[in-house]
Amino acid sequence: MIKLFLTVASAITLMGLVAYGQTSSSSTTVATGTDGTTQTTTTTTESTGIVTEFAPGETMVLKTEAAEPVHYKFSKQVTYVNANGRVIDASKIRKDSKVQVHYVKDGDDMMVDKVIVTKDRD
């Protein structure tokens, strides 16, 4: 009975950790044609986490599955939406909100262009 309980508790904990900070991405391709022109495709990535710091229009820090908090900068045009896809004001995002960010890597910076509030804080 105790083994069953520990197994179920471990499985539930593992599922929660996996769902907590998922990241997905698409690839970047840089190609040089025979005529010397270069074509670049940018990498876009999405990551989910809990907001620990937020300065609208400037920066956001998320607690994700990574060991250290992840720092993001905002691009010139940022869209903020709720879980239903409705555009919201940046002031609706608070510390401890669960969000998904859509960003593009620019050198060492991660430039956010969309923030989705996936769950309001409790």
pLDDT at site 25: 46
DSSP letter for 87, please: B
- The DSSP code sequence of 97-113 is -EEEEEEEEETTEEEEE
pLDDT in tens, the chain (122 residues): 665 544 544 445 444 433 444 454 444 555 566 677 776 666 678 999 999 999 998 999 999 988 899 999 999 999 999 999 999 999 999 999 999 999 998 888 999 999 999 975 55
Domains of the chain: 2-119 (2.40.50.320)
Which residues on neighbouring strands pair with residue 25, listed in sequence order?
45
What does pTM read for this prediction?
A: 0.65
The reported pLDDT for the residue numbered 7 is 53
